[in-house]
Structure 1
Amino acid sequence: MPGKGGHRRFGAIRKLPSGRYQVRYPGPDGVVRPGEQTFERKQEAEQYLSIVESKLITSEWIDPNRGKIWLQDYAERWIAERPNLRPRTVHLYTWLLGKHVTPYLGKVPLNRLSTPMVREWRTKLLDNGVSATMAAKAYRLLRAVLMTAVKEDELIRVNPCRIKGADQERPAERPVLTVAQVFDLAEKVPERYRALILVTTFGCLRWGEVIALQRRDIDLEAGTVRVRQAYVEQRGTGLVLGPPKSRAGLRTVTLPAVVLPKVRAHLAEFAGDDPDAFVFTGAEGRTIWRGNFNQLVKWSDAVAAIGAPKLHFHDLRHTGNTLASRAPGASLRDLMTRMGHDSPRAALIYQHANSEADRAIAEAINKAVQAARRKPSKRAPKAAQDEAEPV
């Protein structure tokens, strides 16, 4: 506000040759800065200075020069500096950034990004044929990057990613096999890979977890499988053996008793005697690559033969998770622990599961398997679900 004699007590306003008004004001470091914009009327310039003064007093002011960094440069640095990101996650973030974000917003300074601009970007993605699932992934990445710019680096004051529902995915529902179909599928693949189908399904394991199992991880007496590592396919490097996807992935899962004879026979015929010997390997004893597995087992023919032509390998885990969720008496924590899932609402979710509850789940599955196998096998209706996004 102007003080006595027409002088302002904060900042200064001058009229430019163009007739517009420019403001200047001192920052908390004493450096005098020009305003980010000019104004048509002097009253607007005075209001702007009042707002800046209020933000300085309440420590809400952010140096506009700090937010002049391009989104592309900041986002690339954000990915590089994230701690504990798995190689696959780094690859996904880098791909999303280069494919769906920077071509549209990469050269925009952070402090120029706005909610309407983000909304227009998302609309263009969808109009150009990008699926809602992939657009949601790209939106969540952009939101996370800009949240760091707001809360940690204090480069901008608010996050412009405020579009309701933009972060939600609606993937097509994946097929779930019947118990009979699971055993039918195991019989349709070469003998070397039958136990792999059963352990993956009824143990609720991920691909990287099941191919990383070693003989020491199988306890036939207890009927358990211990998940303590997983393979990840890393571009430029190959298969990398490391910890599971998350801390919750470290777990011991009880298998249904009806599966154990198949596992015992597999270990006797196809796995080495050394405790470090990998349980599931190719014919030459090498680790199986995900990209080669479908060809090895003639997957398309096998899944078509059981009436589930759209089935993906990861749908076996989905089937196992579904069977486990139907087990009576299993709590949410028991199920999440068995599946190896993290939950932000339950800090203890990756702690050791109650072994009795886990065995109850396995026993319930075992009973379902035995009951199904006593009945004549009937082919389930053909799965009609569309293929989900691969990323």
Structure 2
Amino acid sequence: MANKKGRRRFGWVRKLPSGRYQASYLGPDSQRRNAPETFETKTAADQYLVKVESAMMAGEWTDPTRAKVKLGDYAERWIKERPGLRPRTVELYRWLLAKHIVPHLGGLELGKLTTAVVRQWRTGLLDQGISTSITAKSYRLLRAVMNTAVEEDRILPRNPCRVRGADQESPAERPVLTVAQVFDLAGRMPKRWRALVLMTAFATLRWGEVTALRRRDVAPDGSWVRVTVAYSEVPGRGLLLGPPKSKAGVRTLTVPEAIRPEIVKHLMTWVKAGDDALLFTGERGNAVRKSNFAQRVKWTELVTKMGLKGLHFHDLRHAGNIWAAQAGSSTKDLMARMGHDDMRAALLYQRATSDADQKIADRLSDLVDKHRDGDHAEDDDQVDENQ
């Protein structure tokens, strides 16, 4: 914008030998910068400077030279510098980056990554047959990287990842096991792992959490279990012991009274003396790997024979979460029991009261008692038929 004497209040515009116009201005750091492109008319150059001045006045200006960093380089650095990422999460991020992001967008400057480009990239993944789940994970990773570029590093004025619904996976609905099916499955396990199935389901534990439990993490009478650490299995590095998946994952849970005798029996039979002794181990006393466990119990054949083809071990925890929700617990109490958190961390980090957790455990115990009563009724019927 020019004053009465023809001098500009902000920036400069000059005509180049080519006939196009170049705009320049002083940034907040007093460094002179040229517009990233030249303009066909002086009016267009003036309009550019007006936008730059407005952004500076609103505190939204970003240095265009910093936006020239390549997405691949920035994302790799983002993963390396991100605090608190679990090893397995780092491996997943690096795989998504190398497989689905860098080959398509890695050489692009951050400043040239627009919503249209992101939309085309996502559509391209789906057209190539990449699953909705993997595409959504890749999109969420890209969005998280760009959020840092906007909010922390102030490289960009806004996040270009604004494709509605692109972050949704729409996964296939998982099966919900009944109490009877869980006990049936536990009964088909080698005896050293029967309690592993029951504790996973009725305490809603993750695989890495339940396999990291030690004697000190379980009450001698089986009344509670405490989660403080978890195993994660990283290709090429084996089992790594670290914090649970989320901050809310550190928790103490009341075990349903109906399965406490199973826990006590397991402690007496299969767990070595000493507070550090692992609760669940392989035949050689080592920590249990999921792949070895599945192979040892012939998981795929076992669940297929039970009529539960495609069942995952994680579905035990899923079943326990469903039962707890059906028990009428509040959202806060339920989230605390499951060890979940999300963006509303301040609310979800609040732990459920011990009374509420006891109510959940009591209701789950009632489910087990009803299941057992049903078994006895079937036995009585069988006796009547034989008489």
Q: Provide TM-score, normalisation by structure 1.
A: 0.91
Cα separation, partners in 2 of 1:61 and 1:224, compared to 1, 3 Å: closer
Counterpart contact for 2:222–2:264, Cα < 8 Å? no
Q: Which residue of 1 aligns with 2:335?
A: 336
The equivalent of 2:166 in structure 1 is: 166
CA shift, 1:55, in A, is 2.9
**Alpha-carbon spacing, 1:49–1:182, altered in 2? closer, same or farther (3 Å):** same
Instruction: Write the distance in 2 (CA, Å) between the matches of 1:256 and 1:100.
Output: 44
Whole-Å separation in 2 of the counterparts to 1:303 and 1:130: 28
Q: 1:349 Cα shift?
A: 3.1
Which residues in structure 2 correspond to 1:245-264 (within 5 Å)?
245-264=245-264
Q: Which residue is equivalent to 1:79? A: 79
Matches within 5 A, 1:171-182: 171-182=171-182
2:169 counterpart SS class: coil
1:115-126 superposed matches below 5 A: 115-126=115-126
Q: Larger deviation: 28-37 or 298-307?
A: 28-37
Worse-matched range after superposition: 4-13 or 137-146: 4-13
SS in 1 for 2:253: strand
CA 1:216–1:3 in structure 2 vs 1: closer, same or farther (change >3 Å)?
closer
1:5 Cα shift? 5.6
* Aligned equivalent of 1:230: 230
* Separation (CA, whole Å) in 1 of partners of 2:120 and 2:60: 28
SS of residue paired to 1:25: strand
Residue 362 of structure 2 aligns with which residue?
Answer: 363
Deviations 1:260-311 (A, max 9, x none): 2222222222111222211110111111111111111111222122211110
* Bigger shift: residues 120-129 or 31-40: 31-40
Cα deviation for residue 222 of structure 1 reads 5.8
- In structure 2, what is the equivalent of residue 147 of structure 1? 147
| Map of 2:281 onto structure 1 | 281
**1:151 deviation in Å?**
1.5
Aligned match of 1:187? 187
8 A Cα contact 1:189 1:298, kept in partner: no
Question: In structure 2, what residue type is equivalent to 1:306?
Answer: M
TM superposition shift of 1:229: 1.6
Contact 1:220/1:260 (<8 A) preserved = no
How many angstroms does 1:224 deviate by? 1.3
Query: 1:353 maps to what in 2?
Result: 352
Q: 1: CA distance between counterparts of 2:267 and 2:112?
A: 61
Per-residue deviation at 1:4?
4.4
Q: Secondary structure at the match of 2:138?
A: helix
Q: What is the CA deviation profile of residues 50-100 of structure 1, one whole-angstrom value per residue up to 9, with x for unaligned ones?
A: 222333344433221111111111111111111111111111111111111
* Partner AA of 2:12 in structure 1: A
Displacement of 1:214 after TM fit? 1.1
Secondary structure of 1:325's aligned partner: helix
Change (3 A) 1:252 1:57: closer
Q: Give the share of equivalent positions with the same residue, in percent.
A: 56
Aligned counterpart, 1:316: 316
- SS in structure 2 opposite 1:264? helix
SS at match of 2:348: coil
Shift in Å, 1:351: 4.1
Aligned to 1:31: 31
Q: 1:32: Cα distance to partner?
A: 2.8
Asked if 1 retains the 8 angstrom alpha-carbon contact of 2:222 and 2:261, the reply is no
SS of match in other structure, 1:239: strand
Cα distance in 2 for residues equivalent to 1:101 and 1:77: 14
> Which amino acid letter does the alignment assign opposite residue 200 of structure 1?
T
- Write the distance in 2 (CA, Å) between the matches of 1:113 and 1:164: 17
Question: Structure 2 regions of 5+ residues with no counterpart?
Answer: 377-387
- Residues 1:109 and 1:371: Cα distance change in structure 2 (over 3 Å): same
Question: Residue 22 of structure 1 aligns to which amino acid in structure 2?
Answer: Q
The separation in 1 between residues aligned to 2:6 and 2:129, in whole angstroms, is 59
Letter in 2 for 1:338: R
| 207-216 or 43-52, larger mean C-alpha shift | 43-52
Instruction: Write the letter of the residue equivalent to 1:336.
Output: M
Q: Following the alignment from structure 2 to structure 1, what is the Cα–Cα distance between the partners of residues 56 and 223?
A: 65
Sort the Cα spacing of 1:180 and 1:16 in 2 relative to 1 into closer, same or farther, 3 A: same
Higher relative contact order (CA 8 A, sep 6+): 1
1:224 to 1:11, Cα distance in 2 relative to 1, 3 A? closer
Q: Which amino acid aligns with 1:212?
A: A
CA contact (8 A) 1:146 1:159 kept: yes
Q: Secondary structure at the match of 1:373?
A: helix
Superposed displacement of residue 12, structure 1: 3.1
| Cα distance per residue 1:157-197 (max 9 Å; x no partner) | 11111111111221111111111111111111212211111
Corresponding residue SS for 2:47:
helix
2:79 and 2:357 mapped to 1: Cα distance? 37
Instruction: Measure, in 2, the Cα distance between the counterparts of 1:251 and 1:182.
Output: 24
Confirm or deny: 8 A CA contact 1:206 1:314 kept in the other structure: yes
**2:10 is matched with which residue?**
10
- Cα deviation for residue 132 of structure 1 reads 1.4
Aligned pair count reads 377
Letter in 2 for 1:367: D
For residues 20 and 203 of structure 1, do their structure 2 counterparts lie closer, same or farther at Cα, with a shift above 3 Å needed? same
Q: CA RMSD in A?
A: 2.0
CA 180–155 in structure 1, closer or farther in 2 if over 3 Å, else same: same
Residue 219 of structure 1 aligns to a residue whose secondary structure is coil
